[in-house]
Structure 1
Amino acid sequence: METITVDKLPLDEKIILILKKRGIRTLNPPQAEAIKKGLLEGKRLLVTSPTASGKTLIAELGMVNYLLSKGGKAIYITPLRALTNEKYNTFKDWESLGLKIGMSSGDYDTDDSWLENYDIIVTTYEKLDSLWRHKAKWLNDVSYFVLDEFHYLNDPERGPTVESVAIRAKRKGVVLGLSATISNGNEIAKWLNAELVATNWRPVPLKEGIIYPEKKDFIIVYKDNSTRKVYGDDPIIAYTIDIVSKGGQVLVFRSSRKLAESTARKIAQYMNFIKLEDKKLLDIGREIKEVDDAGTNEKEDLYNLIIKGVSYHHAGLSKKLRDIIESSFRERILKVIVATPTLAAGVNLPARAVIIGDIYRYNRKVVGYMDLIPVMDYKQMSGRAGRPGFDENGEAVIVVRSKREAQKVFERYLMSDVEPIESKLGSESAFYSFLISIIASEGEKTERELLEYVKETLLPKELAKKYFKSGLNWLLDHDIFIKIEDKIKLSRFGSRISDLYINPFTAVTIREALEKSEKSCEIAYLHLLAYTPDGPTISVSKSEEEALIDELNCELLVDEPEDEYEFSNYISALKVAFIVYDWINEIDEDTILGKYGIGSGDLRAIIDTMDWLTYSGFHVASVLELKDHKEVLEELHMRVKDGIKPELIELVKVPGIGRARARLLYQHDIKRPEDIVMNPEKVKRLLGPNLGEKIVREAARIIA
């Protein structure tokens, strides 16, 4: 392919200057192909190429050139908040051209009107869906949509929203889809009304292989049939030490947190033979110990690993811990991360080598059953191998138990294409939410007009019509939709649940439980919210199950189900309820983590979700005019975020005051923001002069 230098591009000189500042003089093959297919003319494109092949720059050139030549706004949409932050920081370069970069994620009950002043907005699929539902006026100016990580269409949880957003985006402006390999790229490009740009080019070539035991050692067979041996008692340790001893970094993927942690500890025992940057690792270890949103035991465990150049990484860790681990790996100080597969889909963390330790994972719906991981998941993990600028090759190996198994795995993962992208709107919950989203964002529609949107889904036509009929009836029967003459609209109840961005089954579960019940205990409300489809799920052992039931001393708002799978969700919700109950009664965080066997990241995720669900429950009770339930849920919501008893609610309204500072002030007879303003010296004595001064100012601002 002919090389394209940036000087030859029909771009504003200021754009070319920014590219050169980044060290970009020529475009790589996917970028050159996108230019040839009409990127700079505002053509719709679907770009599929491997990880780290420069797709973000394609989006930047498309957006910036379009905005400078045609005006309007552009939205860059990602599936993950971590990616939203990453892209936002990358795009800040363009502010020197006078373009303002904004970012928004989370908080679904707002239209973010402040974004009207921004030109490029980075957000998540869910947040954009929510903004459309709130009819944010500034969205009328958006005419360029970048759909990042577009293979998330195939994700059972996120896929329905990605598809819903894509359907509306392609009706409203230019669409640029970006993805790793999509095997049915022509079909998906046609659906987007876009031209396909598909390449297999990678900046660092990838060597893929299988590692299996042979006599007392381990042999690696690569895709090109070349082989080599590594020596030791364990394939993961042997291969990791081999790579690290040659100056490389390794990402190891394990199927569970427990395996990730135990594997990291085993590898750490062998790191004494590796030359490490001890002083820098000690500094990182100390930084870990000072993190304030994590448990003491977690920090101690990670410290002991990190000083040996190794760490584990999973969602059970707090965000601050994960950030430190990721940045120290990027800086090449940390040599090995053992992670669960969620890391592969998240932030950009390349390594010389990737080890896929497990090709099976537990099926959450069938107890004791293991599924083979999809080829797409393998591609996501192996795609992290090879650091541009550091490695001549990246290596990805799959661990298997025998030579016989190696052949099957070789065929399935190394020689096969990824699964075709298919619609994930084929469930009642997803499809009904899709219908609500269309009416909320596009306004009232006739049945025929709404069906036109349904026909644009990727679902087979007959299946889409079937879901449409049953969905429409269910939404009308449950007073979410109302029909006036021939127009379908949202009811008052439907409009509120759409704004709250909760699953319609969550809303109906809450409504039915509250309407048939008298005022109940706090645990009962927390259990109800956790038991909805939007509630957090958590594993519960048999002994925990018995203890939870024994500890329960009030009647729950939902009846115990007979179905075994539903009962496990019911008990999971009860554990969540007790965790949150302890949290809002100011039980120490370390005690909660130890008592329930969870990590600080789990606790934060549970709190964030239950903060949203108590807010939603309070608003559902409010719109239904259930005064007693509303009062309990409103107070619970005010307590969940900070983990406080009722008497501290007023104090934590002051920015900078959390549960610990509020309790300290309260114990010294400072109980309201007014007390802070009236006793500035006392506050400074309790909190320290600088922080105290700041808190007094914030309190004064609140009561002004």
Structure 2
Amino acid sequence: MGCINVDSLPVDQRIKDILKNRGIQRLNPPQSEAVEKGLLEDKPLLIVSPTASGKTLMAELGMVSHLLNKGGKAVYVTPLRALTNEKYATFKDWEQLGLKVAMTSGDYDTDDYWLKDYDIIVATYEKLDSLWRHNSSWLKEVDYFVLDEFHYMNDTERGPVVESVAVRAKRRGIVLALSATIGNYDKVAKWLKADVVATNWRPVPLKEGVLYTSNKKKDFIVLYKDGSSKKVYGECPIVAYTLDTVSRDGQVLVFRSSRKYAESTAVKISQYMSLVKLDNKKLHEVAQKVKEVEDAGSNEKESLYNLILKGVAYHHAGLSKGLRDIIEGAFRERIIKVIVATPTLAAGVNLPARAVVIGDIHRFNRKVIGFTEYIPVMEYKQMSGRAGRPGFDEYGESVVIVRSKSEVEKITQKYLNSDVEPLESKLGSESAFYSFILSIISSEQGVTEKTLSSYVQDTLLPKELAKKYYKQAISWLMSNDFIGQKDDYLVLTRFGRRISDLYLNPFTAVTIKDALLKSEKGCEIAYFHLLAYTPDGPLVSVSKAEEDVILDELDCELFIEEPYDEFELSNYLSSLKVAFIMRDWIEEVDEDTILGRYGIGSGDLRAITDTMDWLTYSGYHVASVLGLEEHEKILEKLHLRVKDGVKEELIPLIRVSGIGRVRARLLYSHSIKTPEEILMNPEKVKQLLGPKLGEKIVREAARAIT
């Protein structure tokens, strides 16, 4: 079909003006098809089109035209906080039309009543699910749902909540689901009661290939899907192909299967970057920013500083947000030429490159020790889809590295010439399904079994399996005091209501409840270990050497007994390592020392402390609703200490906004120990913290007291 001119769109002129200010004069083919299929008339749609094909703009047009014509509220849902921030910044344009845009994520124990004044709300799937459980009155006005990155429904961990949100969204309003990769889109669209816009159109054509070693040691051949080929030369295939692209003014994303491989590959590539032209002045400026980041470890900063000077960086979840932001920004500005990343980057923020190198088509399966498996086709499509920068490249290239020519045909057929896996329900586990049932009962504030059964039938689970799990779920939730019956309705008990509001996995709640009910108060390690051992706890890897050390250092009795099962033991040891990390953290052990001692990154430490902050908060509320006062007091204090990592005497100071572990300890060491003492010694505070910051802290102390 043809491309629609912006001027001919049947929308408010102000919408056209905003599009033109962005440089958009015509809609591209998939955008035009979406309009033809009713995007501007509130028709439910499933849009499946490649990365950078303009799906976000389709969502904007759908939301804004609906709000201007019909009123109500629109929610744009994403699977990642980073995407939430990105979309929020994009949607701020529409405030020119008088629409108010807000963003919310995290903090699951709140109804976010303040959102009643906003028209477009950007949230994560988990946050929207949590808000429904809290039954905030403004949610009744939401009648337009954009479900972004909808293929996340295939993810074992995130999929259940994506499906749960989709089930309720299609019952409550108009659904616009977006994805780059869904194989069975006809079936999924029928399930969503939506029409389909499915296209392979890309703004920058993609050239896919497989790279293998020729008969000559330092010659490597790329055989493309279209039958063409080319040679690159160098010490190893990844380095050879990367340097070939960078030497032609391109940027490269290299994907490796592990953090260790990502870091070592980045170092290897950097050793050859003197062969290409770089903007050394700008690279030095970026590297200097890395050194000044506050939320990262010294070793990480030093490592990245040296790499960035050579135009290279690595990127994975172990890095702090501050470091990741700098690396992503410098890559977008074309200063950094190469990022070596783990596959999580492919599913995250928009970061296109001229070329993508997929260094590993196998990965370890953690559930089967010593076993590797092929990555899913969907994961390949997500990574290769990053190739090609609109406005810079005539075409993008993606290459898969294989060991020998004998693998080329097999990998070509498996990845380059096949469709992605079908989207299937991930509610087929007790944990996921029971959480879904609890969520529905909570958000509907009492439902009959018939109504609840209709929600279950609305999932993508096979009907017989859904019936089986439904009966099990009702029985289990009743026997564990989450739900009860009142007349013909299923209702939450006091315990069930609190667990639902806290957004806890029901199995986490039962694990905590059972342990606390049968035990006297324990040591700090015991509480941290219990919380980390639950299904909601953070996971860390434990080497054999670490296993011996942490078991030797354990000097108190735990709530959980050491299991005999190999996989349960692995979880037990992971939880124990988390407990030791958290004890060091709240004892104010230096961050660099913690990172080095436990072999984790600053991003890992942030993720662990964030999760344990939520779990200690949840733990003390579980103890409270059970009337276990001793456990409640201990868990509340641990919660207050976890967020900033402080000893107990600093709790009063960290209640002041802007004061963390370092500033609190500085003030305390100079005999300023409470918010009141901050107010009584303003000049001393300014002297210790600097005039501007000191003045701000004094103001915040006044707020903390009132």
1:555 aligns to what? 557
For 2:586 and 2:373, the matched residues in 1 are separated by 38
Matched, 1:492 2:486: no
3-state SS, counterpart of residue 403 of structure 2: coil
1:138 aligns to what? 138
For 2:358 and 2:128, the matched residues in 1 are separated by 34
After superposing on structure 2, the runs of 4+ consecutive aligned residues of structure 1 that deviate more than 4 Å are none
2:627 aligns to what? 625
Please state how far the C-alpha of 1:682 moved relative to its aligned partner. Answer: 1.3
Please state how far the C-alpha of 1:181 moved relative to its aligned partner. Answer: 2.7
Which one-letter code corresponds to 1:171 in the other structure? R
Please state how far the C-alpha of 1:233 moved relative to its aligned partner. Answer: 2.1
Matched, 1:673 2:638: no
1:595 aligns to what? 597
Matched, 1:504 2:503: no
For 2:543 and 2:703, the matched residues in 1 are separated by 48
2:256 aligns to what? 254
For 1:209 and 1:306, the matched residues in 2 are separated by 28
For 1:660 and 1:99, the matched residues in 2 are separated by 41
2:372 aligns to what? 370
Residues 550-596 of structure 1, C-alpha deviation per residue, up to 9 Å, x if partnerless?
Answer: 10000000111111001000000000000000000000000000000
3-state SS, counterpart of residue 114 of structure 1: helix
For 1:143 and 1:449, the matched residues in 2 are separated by 21
Matched, 1:102 2:102: yes
Residues 389-443 of structure 1, C-alpha deviation per residue, up to 9 Å, x if partnerless?
Answer: 0000000000000111111111100010000000000000000000000000012
Which one-letter code corresponds to 1:384 in the other structure? R
1:169 aligns to what? 169
For 1:686 and 1:49, the matched residues in 2 are separated by 56
Please state how far the C-alpha of 1:101 moved relative to its aligned partner. Answer: 0.4
For 1:682 and 1:198, the matched residues in 2 are separated by 65
For 1:703 and 1:476, the matched residues in 2 are separated by 44
1:21 aligns to what? 21
For 2:23 and 2:448, the matched residues in 1 are separated by 54
1:412 aligns to what? 414
For 1:176 and 1:485, the matched residues in 2 are separated by 38
- Counterparts of 1:530-609 in structure 2, within 5 Å, are 530-609=532-611
2:704 aligns to what? 702
Please state how far the C-alpha of 1:489 moved relative to its aligned partner. Answer: 0.8
Residues 499-533 of structure 1, C-alpha deviation per residue, up to 9 Å, x if partnerless?
Answer: 00010000000000000000110000000000000
TM-score, length-normalised on structure 2?
0.99
Which one-letter code corresponds to 2:161 in the other structure? T
For 1:544 and 1:150, the matched residues in 2 are separated by 39
Question: 446, 457, 460: which is aligned to 1:458?
Answer: 460
Please state how far the C-alpha of 1:215 moved relative to its aligned partner. Answer: 1.5
2:150 aligns to what? 150
Residues 349-386 of structure 1, C-alpha deviation per residue, up to 9 Å, x if partnerless?
Answer: 00000000000111111111111100000000000000
3-state SS, counterpart of residue 221 of structure 1: strand
1:46 aligns to what? 46
Matched, 1:194 2:156: no
For 2:130 and 2:190, the matched residues in 1 are separated by 27
Question: 359, 362, 377: which is aligned to 1:360?
Answer: 362
Residues 641-681 of structure 1, C-alpha deviation per residue, up to 9 Å, x if partnerless?
Answer: 00000000000111111111111111111111001111111
Matched, 1:309 2:317: no
Which one-letter code corresponds to 1:509 in the other structure? T
Which one-letter code corresponds to 1:51 in the other structure? T
2:35 aligns to what? 35
1:60 aligns to what? 60
Residues 279-324 of structure 1, C-alpha deviation per residue, up to 9 Å, x if partnerless?
Answer: 0000000000000000001000000000000000000000000000
Unaligned runs of 5+ in 2: none
For 1:3 and 1:549, the matched residues in 2 are separated by 66
- Counterparts of 1:112-511 in structure 2, within 5 Å, are 112-216=112-216, 217-511=219-513
3-state SS, counterpart of residue 571 of structure 2: helix
Which one-letter code corresponds to 1:42 in the other structure? D
3-state SS, counterpart of residue 312 of structure 1: strand
3-state SS, counterpart of residue 24 of structure 1: coil
1:111 aligns to what? 111
Identity fraction in percent: 71
1:89 aligns to what? 89
Please state how far the C-alpha of 1:688 moved relative to its aligned partner. Answer: 1.4
For 2:623 and 2:498, the matched residues in 1 are separated by 11
3-state SS, counterpart of residue 398 of structure 1: strand
3-state SS, counterpart of residue 220 of structure 2: strand
Please state how far the C-alpha of 1:103 moved relative to its aligned partner. Answer: 0.3
For 1:459 and 1:568, the matched residues in 2 are separated by 31
For 2:196 and 2:188, the matched residues in 1 are separated by 9
Per mean C-alpha deviation after superposition, the further-off stretch among 225-234 and 325-334 is 225-234
3-state SS, counterpart of residue 456 of structure 2: helix
For 1:382 and 1:123, the matched residues in 2 are separated by 27
For 2:444 and 2:659, the matched residues in 1 are separated by 41
Please state how far the C-alpha of 1:339 moved relative to its aligned partner. Answer: 0.1
TM-score, length-normalised on structure 1?
1.00
Which one-letter code corresponds to 1:591 in the other structure? T
For 2:705 and 2:426, the matched residues in 1 are separated by 49
Residues 100-144 of structure 1, C-alpha deviation per residue, up to 9 Å, x if partnerless?
Answer: 000000000000011111000000100000000000111111111
Which one-letter code corresponds to 1:315 in the other structure? A
3-state SS, counterpart of residue 698 of structure 2: helix
Please state how far the C-alpha of 1:485 moved relative to its aligned partner. Answer: 3.1
Please state how far the C-alpha of 1:3 moved relative to its aligned partner. Answer: 2.4
Please state how far the C-alpha of 1:484 moved relative to its aligned partner. Answer: 2.4
For 1:69 and 1:488, the matched residues in 2 are separated by 38
3-state SS, counterpart of residue 552 of structure 2: helix
For 1:699 and 1:3, the matched residues in 2 are separated by 58
3-state SS, counterpart of residue 509 of structure 1: helix
Residues 55-103 of structure 1, C-alpha deviation per residue, up to 9 Å, x if partnerless?
Answer: 0010000000110011111000001000000000000111100000000
3-state SS, counterpart of residue 611 of structure 1: helix
For 1:406 and 1:479, the matched residues in 2 are separated by 57
For 1:283 and 1:183, the matched residues in 2 are separated by 44
Unaligned runs of 5+ in 1: none
3-state SS, counterpart of residue 333 of structure 1: coil
Residues 16-39 of structure 1, C-alpha deviation per residue, up to 9 Å, x if partnerless?
Answer: 000100010111010000011011
RMSD (Å), alpha carbons = 0.6
For 2:211 and 2:514, the matched residues in 1 are separated by 55
For 2:354 and 2:89, the matched residues in 1 are separated by 25
3-state SS, counterpart of residue 27 of structure 1: coil
Number of residue-to-residue matches in the alignment: 704
Please state how far the C-alpha of 1:701 moved relative to its aligned partner. Answer: 2.1
For 1:694 and 1:41, the matched residues in 2 are separated by 50
Residues 131-178 of structure 1, C-alpha deviation per residue, up to 9 Å, x if partnerless?
Answer: 000001111111110010111111111110000000100011111011
Please state how far the C-alpha of 1:226 moved relative to its aligned partner. Answer: 0.8
Per mean C-alpha deviation after superposition, the further-off stretch among 1-10 and 617-626 is 1-10
1:654 aligns to what? 656
Which one-letter code corresponds to 1:277 in the other structure? D
Residues 211-239 of structure 1, C-alpha deviation per residue, up to 9 Å, x if partnerless?
Answer: 00011211101001111111112000000
